[in-house]
Structure 1
Amino acid sequence: MHIESIPMWEGTGNNYAYLVSDEKTKDAVIIDPANPSEVLPSLKKAVDSGIKLNSIVNTHHHHDHAGGNAEVLKTYQIPIVGGKDCDKVTKTPSHGETFKVGNINVKALHTPCHTQDSICYLFEDGNDRAVFTGDTLFIGGCGRFFEGTPEEMDAALNKTLAALADDTKVFPGHEYTKGNIKFGIKVIQSEPIKKLEAFANSNKQTQGKFTIGDEKQFNVFMRLDDPAVQKFTGKTDRIDVMSALREAKNSM
C-alpha cells in the first residue's frame, strides 16, 4: 500500500489527512480530509494519475477531522465511512468489522474516549501494517478525554491498540510529537524516549516513523505500570495513573 500524508493547518492545528491506495488496483480512500483547500489539489493529482478514490474515512466527528466532508463531496460523490456523528456519514462500521480497499484489508477498531465515536483503522497489505489513530493515539501521547473517561482511554490504548502487531506503523491525526516529548521526558528519562526526543528535534514530521511496539516503550500513557510513571503521578492504580497523567499534560 502507498500512504501519502497531507499536512493541513501547519503551524496551528498541525493536522494530517492521509491518502491510502492499493498500488496494484489503484483503489484508494482519503482519511480525515478536513481542510479541502489543502487536500483537493492532492486528490486531483492522484485521480488524474489513475487513482480510484472509493470513499472518505473519518476517525471521529470533530470539525478538524470530518469538517471537510461536505466540500469534498461536491467534487467526489463517494460514501463516507466513519463514526456515527461524522458529517454526512453513510456507513459506521462495528468494532472489529472489516472492509477492503483494493487488496488492502481494513479493520475498524472502536476507541471511545476523545469522542464516543472515535474509530481507529488498521490497514494490512501482506506484512505491511499501518494504523490510523485520529486523536486517540499520538506519537508519544494521546488525545484529551473530551467525551470519555480514563478507563476508556486505558482500554483504547492498552487493550485495543496494544494488541496490534508490534510492527504496526502509527499514523496519528496531528503532529504533536514535540509537545508530547516535552511532557513525557518529565515523566520518564529512558533511552527510548530520549531517542524519540532526538528524532523529533531533527525531523519536522514523525507520522509512520514509529510503531505500536515503539509506543509501548516511550509513550507514558501506555506505561501505566511503570514504576517511574507511577512515581511521577503518586498513584499506583492504573486508572488513577492515567487520570493523573492526563491532568498533568493538560496543565502544561
Structure 2
Amino acid sequence: MKVIPIPCLSDNYAYVLIDEKARQVSVVDPVDAQKVLSVVEQTGLEFKTVLTTHHHADHSGGNSDIVGLAPGLTVYGGDSRIPAMTQQLHDGDTFTLGSLSVRAIKTFGHTTSSICYYIEDDDQKVAFTGDTLFVGGCGRLFEGTPQDMYESLNVKLAALPGDTKVYAGHEYTRSNLKFALSVDGDNSTLQEKAERCASAECTMPSTIAEELATNPFMRVNQPALQKVAGSTDPVEVLKVIRKMKDNF
C-alpha cells in the first residue's frame, strides 16, 4: 500500500491510494478532479474507487467531475449529500479494495456525513480522517456537539493501533501546533513535533500515537488541559478548548 498526498485548492489534500498487490488505485476526496486524475494515470493502474470523507464542497466537490472523466467508479460516502455517491456507508461497515481491508468509522462532530476510513494490508495501517482529526487539531463543530467530537476522537479514533498513519484533509498543522503549544506548552513531545513540522512542506502522515501524545483534543483527560479549561470533565474540556481555537 502506498499513499500519495495531492495538495488541492489553498490547503486541502486529496490522496491517491495505491494497492500494489492488486494493481488498483483508489482516491480520497478528489476535489480537483483533473489534477488527481493525472496522478492516477501516471500510476498505470486500474482506477476503481472514490472514498469521500464528508459532504463539504472542498472535499466532495470533485466527485461528479472525476466520475465524468472516469465512468464506472464506485463512490463511497456517509450520506445523501455526497455527490455521485453509489455506496452509502454506516458505522463499522467493512469492505475490500483489492487486497486492502477497509473499515468505515462514522465520526460525528464536524458534520453528520463524516466517515473516516481505516485501511490495512499485511504491512501497514492508515486512516483518512478528513476534517475530523487534523494533525494537532480537529474540525470545527458545524453539525455536531462536543460530545460527538469527543467520541469520534477519544473513543473511536483513539482505539486504532498507535502505528496507524493519519492522513488529514487539510494542511493546518503549523497553526494547529501553535495553538496546541498555547494550551499544553510544557509538553516536550509537542515541542519536538512543532519544531519538526515548522519547515515541512507536507506534514502528512502523523500517527495515532503521535496525536494521542500531542493533540490537545485527544488529551482532554490530561491535567494540563483540564487546568486550562477549568474542568475535569473531558467533554467540557474539549468544548472549551475548541472555542478557544475558534478565536485563536
With the length of structure 1 as denominator, give the TM-score of the two structures.
0.95
Q: Distance in 1 between matches of 2:42 and 2:124?
A: 25
In the TM superposition, residue 219 of structure 1 has moved relative to its aligned partner by: 0.4
Matched, 1:167 2:160: no
In the TM superposition, residue 199 of structure 1 has moved relative to its aligned partner by: 1.2
Aligned to 1:63: 57
Bigger mean CA offset, 28-37 vs 65-74: 28-37
Q: Deviations over 1:176-231 (max 9, x none)?
A: 100101100011121111011111112111111x2101111000000111111011
Q: Which secondary structure does the structure 2 equivalent of 1:147 belong to? A: coil
Q: Which secondary structure does the structure 2 equivalent of 1:127 belong to? A: coil
Matched, 1:147 2:143: yes
Q: Distance in 1 between matches of 2:85 and 2:78?
A: 7
Would you identify which runs of 4 or more consecutive aligned residues in structure 1 move more than 3 Å? none
Which of 110, 115, 119 is the aligned partner of 1:114? 110
CA contact (8 A) 2:78 2:113 kept: yes
Bigger mean CA offset, 231-240 vs 100-109: 231-240
Q: Distance in 2 between matches of 1:170 and 1:121?
A: 10
Alignment of 1:22-41 (within 5 A): 22-41=19-38
Q: Which secondary structure does the structure 1 equivalent of 2:236 belong to? A: helix
Matched, 1:79 2:74: yes
In the TM superposition, residue 239 of structure 1 has moved relative to its aligned partner by: 1.3
Bigger mean CA offset, 37-46 vs 95-104: 37-46
CA RMSD of aligned residues (A): 1.0
Q: Which secondary structure does the structure 1 equivalent of 2:163 belong to? A: coil
Alignment of 1:1-252 (within 5 A): 1-9=1-9, 12=10, 14-46=11-43, 49=44, 51-77=45-71, 78-84=73-79, 85-189=81-185, 190-208=187-205, 210-252=206-248
Q: Deviations over 1:110-169 (max 9, x none)?
A: 001100010000010113000000000001100000000000000000000000001101
Query: Any gaps of 5 or more consecutive residues in structure 2?
Result: none
CA contact (8 A) 2:67 2:84 kept: no
Query: Any gaps of 5 or more consecutive residues in structure 1?
Result: none
